[in-house]
Amino acid sequence: MGRKYVDNPNSCTLVHTMNLIGNKWKPIILYLLSNGPLRFGMLIIFVPTISRKVLATQLKELEQDGLIVRKAYAEIPPKVEYSLSSKATALLPALRALSDWAQESYPDIDFEECKIVAAPKAKA
């Protein structure tokens, strides 16, 4: 079964963005990686309700879309780490804004603190 995209005949930027990150797991994966590189096993621990197959698929799609970087180490047993690409790092302020919106719009919910790191400042 292939990826499902919303048809985007007018090349709308929002539709394109939602096609890249607009599913149940991708924003959560990006949020987790905002705090530094993680291995597959740690992602499973942090998101215990995601199946291994779905996580593997989501990671492959994020890598294909240039949002994460997969680094494989030449060692036994194999070691693979996932980290954010510069495109995904630039997306962090938008994810933070979504998190802030939920906190402000639903004050009756006791949310845990969302620790999306700030995007690094561009060097002058």
Which residue in the block uniquely carries the two structure tokens 């603190």? 113
- 3-state SS, residue 3: coil
- Statement: the pTM of the whole predicted model exceeds 0.95: no
Mean pLDDT in the chain?
87
Instruction: Sheet with 68-73: list strands edge to edge.
Output: 38-39, 79-84, 68-73
Question: Would you state the pLDDT for residue 109?
Answer: 86
- The domains found in the chain, sorted by start residue, are 13-105 (1.10.10.10)
Residue 8 has pLDDT above 70, yes or no: yes
- The per-residue pLDDT for range 76-106, each reduced to its tens digit, is 888 999 999 999 999 999 998 988 898 899 9
- Phi and psi, residue 72, nearest 5°: -100, 130
